[in-house]
Amino acid sequence: MPTTHHPLSTEKLIERQIRFWEWQRQKGKEKARPGRGKSGSVMFGPYLVISREKAAGGRTVAALAAERLNWQVFDREIVDEIARRAKMRQQLIESLDERGRGGLEEFIRDFLGSEPIAPGDYLYHLKQVLLTLGHQGDVAIVGRGAEYVLPSQFGVRIRMVAPLDVRIERVRKAQGLSLEAARSQVAQVDREREKFIRSHFHQALRNPLDYDVVINTGQMSAEGAAEIVLATLQNKLGVSAGNVTTAVEK
How would you write 227-243 as a 3-class SS string?
HHHHHHHHHHHCCCHHH
Whole-angstrom Cα distance, residue 221 to residue 136? Answer: 31
What domains sit in the chain, N to C, each tagged with a CATH number?
Answer: 7-30+37-238 (3.40.50.300)
Q: What is the pTM of this model?
A: 0.85
**Of the candidate ranges 104-118, 134-148, 188-202, 225-239, the one whose mean pLDDT is the lowest:** 104-118
Whole-angstrom Cα distance, residue 80 to residue 100? Answer: 23
Amino acid identity of residue 103, one-letter, is G
Say how many CA atoms lie within 13 Å of 80 toward its Cβ: 12
Is 111:131 a contact under the CB 8 Å cutoff?
Answer: yes
Is 186:167 a contact under the CB 8 Å cutoff?
Answer: yes
Does 2 score more than 60 pLDDT? no
Amino acid identity of residue 65, one-letter, is A
**Of the candidate ranges 95-104, 204-213, 229-238, the one whose mean pLDDT is the lowest:** 95-104
Helix (H, G, I), strand (E, B) or coil at 158: strand
What's the mean pLDDT in 213-222?
Answer: 96
Whole-angstrom Cα distance, residue 57 to residue 214? Answer: 12
Whole-angstrom Cα distance, residue 143 to residue 159? Answer: 10
